[in-house]
Homo-oligomer: A and B are copies of this chain.
Amino acid sequence: MSNKIPVGILAATGSVGQRFVMHLVDHPWFEITALTGSDRTVGRPYGEGVNWLLDGDPPEQVANMIVQPTEPNLEPKVLFSALPTADARELEPKFAAAGYAVLTNASPFRMDPYVPLLIPEVNPDHTGIIPYQQEAYGWPGYIVANANCSTTSIVLPLKILHEAYGVETAVVVTMQAISGAGYPGVPSLDIMDNIIPYIGGEDGKLETEPRKLCGKYADGKFELADFKVSAQANRVPVIDGHLGSVSVKLRQQASPEEVIALFQNWQPTELCQQLPTMPKPVLIYRPEPDRPQPRKDRDAGNGLAWTVGKVRECPVNTVRFLAIAHNTLRGAASGSVLNAELMHLQGFF
């Protein structure tokens, strides 16, 4: 008998759900014991019902697991949600109301005043809101959200700067991979030999989520960080890896050399360093003038590390830099798995 914590995946047959399966199938602490899917797949073995988009085949461990409907009568109490936005808005509260811990990749509750928007390296204390969420909404369970993939790509270095010097403003331009749009996602006729300077809703997420992630939590309340972000998200012909170009105005002066040293010496909290899938180092500084690059840096730390580079003085603001993270790994399913690892160490499960 396994001593692992049983977990389930909501919408396990979609592209994000498949990523959850891959990250959880050999996890040292968690064991998949339930998978849900659309009507088309319910009642069939996962390996048959799924249209597998990742390399290779669906893993053996789940291939014969019968897909269940997405209803709050699942056996495991910890659930990873890969539900599409509209479904997440409707169903995740029902699961929380039925006593489940819902770790979601979906966006509807990210800015909810009682839902932690969590990245272990950025704001591990934000899980403190959870009892307040349960009380406010009368739920025995709760919802914890991970951040949007574009927010994720730039928020760790931003938070480190904010903590050290105070960020006043940030002008962000992202160059985002096609995999961020899911499957079938971006038509090849739109993106080949082209850039699409528009991703629906993304600028707004980039302008608000970092303020919550870098904000303070105390006594059942989040205080948004007091900086402003201007974001322009662009879709580029790159398969994986979101690259962000950031110019920040700091409240205290800081030279590029100081910022580089800050990034090089930064470590997540001791608790974070115990998470089994946390890469070491989790923040990589590259000194070359032409890095980071999506294809060369997205897979650093098994796709879970951030890479920063081009830390330079900014003629307009204080300092500027580039950052990259793997959007479908760090920026999606794996982010929620790391959240679950943190919460397990924090005693939630």
- Interface residues of chain A, those whose CB is within 8 Å of chain B, are 53, 55, 169-171, 173, 175, 178-179, 183-198, 207, 228-230, 232, 234, 236-239, 243, 245, 247, 249, 289-296, 299, 309-310, 314-317, 320, 322
Known: A228-B316, A232-B322. A189 touches B185 (CB 8 A): yes
Residue of B nearest to A177 (CB): B193
User: Can you list 22 residue pairs at the A/B interface with Cβ under 8 Å?
Assistant: A171-B314, A171-B317, A173-B232, A178-B192, A183-B189, A186-B187, A192-B193, A192-B237, A193-B237, A193-B238, A194-B238, A194-B293, A195-B294, A196-B293, A197-B243, A197-B245, A197-B292, A207-B315, A230-B247, A232-B247, A236-B237, A249-B316
- A245 B232 Cβ-Cβ under 8 A: yes
Chain B residue with Cβ nearest A234: B175
A205 to chain B, nearest CB (A): 13
Interface pair B315/A230, CB less than 8 Å apart: yes
State the 10 A-B residue pairs at the shortest beta-carbon distance, nearest first: A198-B290, A184-B187, A194-B295, A173-B173, A230-B316, A188-B188, A169-B316, A186-B188, A171-B171, A178-B188
User: With the chains together, A245 CA to B175 CA distance in Å?
Assistant: 11
The quantity of this chain's copies bound in the complex is 4
Residues of B within 8 A of A289 (CB): 198
- Of the candidates B171, B197, B207, B237, the one whose C-beta lies within 8 Å of that of A188 is B237
Task: Determine the chain B residues whose CB is within 8 A of the CB of A194 once the complex forms.
Answer: 238, 293-296
Quick check: B245 and A314 within 8 Å, CB to CB? no
B234 touches A195 (CB 8 A): no
Report A345 CB to chain B, min CB distance, Å: 30
Chain B hits for A185, CB < 8 A: 187-189
User: For residue A315, which residues in chain B have a CB less than 8 angstroms away from its CB?
Assistant: 207, 228-230
Q: How far is the CB of A51 from chain B (nearest CB, A)?
A: 12
Rounded to whole Å, the gap between the CB of A279 and the closest CB of chain B is 13
CA distance A178 to B195 in the complex (A): 13
Which residues of chain B are near A228, meaning CB under 8 Å? 315-316
Give Cα A171 to B315, complex, Å. Answer: 9
**Contact between A320 and B232 (Cβ–Cβ < 8 Å)?**
yes
Known contacts A173-B232, A192-B192, A228-B315, then 9 further A-B pairs from the complex at CB < 8 Å, ordered by chain A residue: A55-B299, A171-B316, A185-B188, A188-B188, A193-B193, A194-B238, A195-B294, A197-B322, A230-B247
Distance between A318 CB and nearest chain B CB, rounded to angstroms: 11
A193 to chain B: closest CB distance in Å?
5
Q: Inside 8 A of A316's CB, which chain B residues have their CB?
A: 169-171, 228-230, 249
Q: B310, A232: Cβ atoms under 8 Å?
A: yes
The docked-state distance in angstroms from the alpha carbon of A230 to that of B243 is 18
A61 to B136, CA, bound (A): 58
Whether B294 lies near A193 (C-beta < 8 A) is: yes
Question: Measured between alpha carbons, how far is A195 from B309 in the docked complex, in Å?
Answer: 14
CA distance A243 to B236 in the complex (A): 12
User: Given that A184-B184, A289-B198 are contacting pairs, would A317 and B192 also be in contact in the complex, using a CB cutoff of 8 Å?
Assistant: no
Selected contact of A239 from candidates B183, B184, B192, B320, CB within 8 Å: B192
Contacts of A294 in B (CB 8 A): 193-195
Contact indicator B236/A175 (Cβ below 8 Å): yes
CA distance A343 to B236 in the complex (A): 40
User: What's the nearest-Cβ distance from chain B to residue A231, in Å?
Assistant: 8
